[in-house]
């Protein structure tokens, strides 16, 4: 009887985690595509609220993982990891929002090129050097 009640409680938490992750991912996508800073700020607050909810559920999963009554701990671990991935995504969003527009980190990041752009720059430089050498 107690085992069945515990399993029902676990299933409820799994359902809440799935719903929370769906909401979190929706907010995260909107944040990535947000047109201006005020919208991004509002979405960051929404993300923070969802992460807090997910963290509470994660703590409950940790308690269940420590209990000997729970037999299937793989599923608990799977859901815990899913919450931790969402937490990492939020951490990146939060870190990005704290970088000021003209701070040293921001200016340094703006100077870095993605691999394709770097390859283009290197190719152009090579061609320019070759032309200079031939002249």
> What are the Cα distances from residue 96, in Å, to 63, 91, 113, 116?
32, 9, 17, 23
CA atoms within 13 A on the CB side of 1: 0
- pLDDT class for 102, splitting at 50, 70, 90? low
Q: How many CB atoms lie within 10 A of CB 23?
A: 16
Which range (32-36, 85-89, 94-98, 108-112) has the least confidence?
A: 108-112
Tell me what pLDDT residue 79 has.
95
Whether 100 shows a pLDDT value over 70: the answer reads: no
Instruction: Please give the model's pTM, rounded to 2 decimal places.
Output: 0.71
Average per-residue pLDDT for the chain: 86
d(CA 115, CA 50): 34
The model's pLDDT over 38-87, given as tens digits with 9 standing for 90+, comes to 898 999 999 999 999 999 999 999 999 998 888 888 999 999 999 999 99
- Across 79-105, average pLDDT: 83
Listed by start position, the domains of the chain span 2-98, 101-135
Output the pLDDT for position 56: 97
Rounded CA-CA distance 126/128 in Å is 5
pLDDT of residue 47: 95
What is the spatial distance between Cα 15 and Cα 53, in angstroms, rounded to a whole number?
13
Reduce the DSSP state of residue 71 to 3 states and report it.
Answer: coil
Residues contacting residue 50 through CB under 8 Å, at least 6 positions apart: 20, 23, 24, 27, 86
């Amino acid at each position: 009887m107690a085992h069945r009640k515990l399993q029902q409680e676990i299933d409820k938490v799994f359902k809440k985690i799935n719903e929370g992750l769906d909401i979190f991912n929706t907010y995260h996508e909107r944040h990535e595509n947000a047109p201006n800073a005020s919208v991004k700020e509002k979405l960051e607050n929404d993300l923070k609220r969802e992460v807090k909810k997910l963290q509470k559920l994660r703590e409950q999963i940790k308690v269940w993982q420590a209990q000997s009554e729970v037999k299937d701990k793989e599923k608990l671990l799977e859901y815990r990891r899913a919450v931790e991935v969402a937490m990492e995504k939020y951490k990146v969003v939060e870190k990005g929002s704290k970088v000021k527009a003209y701070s040293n980190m921001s200016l340094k990041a703006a100077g870095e090129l993605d691999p394709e752009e770097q390859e283009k720059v290197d190719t152009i430089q090579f061609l320019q050097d070759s032309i200079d050498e031939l002249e």
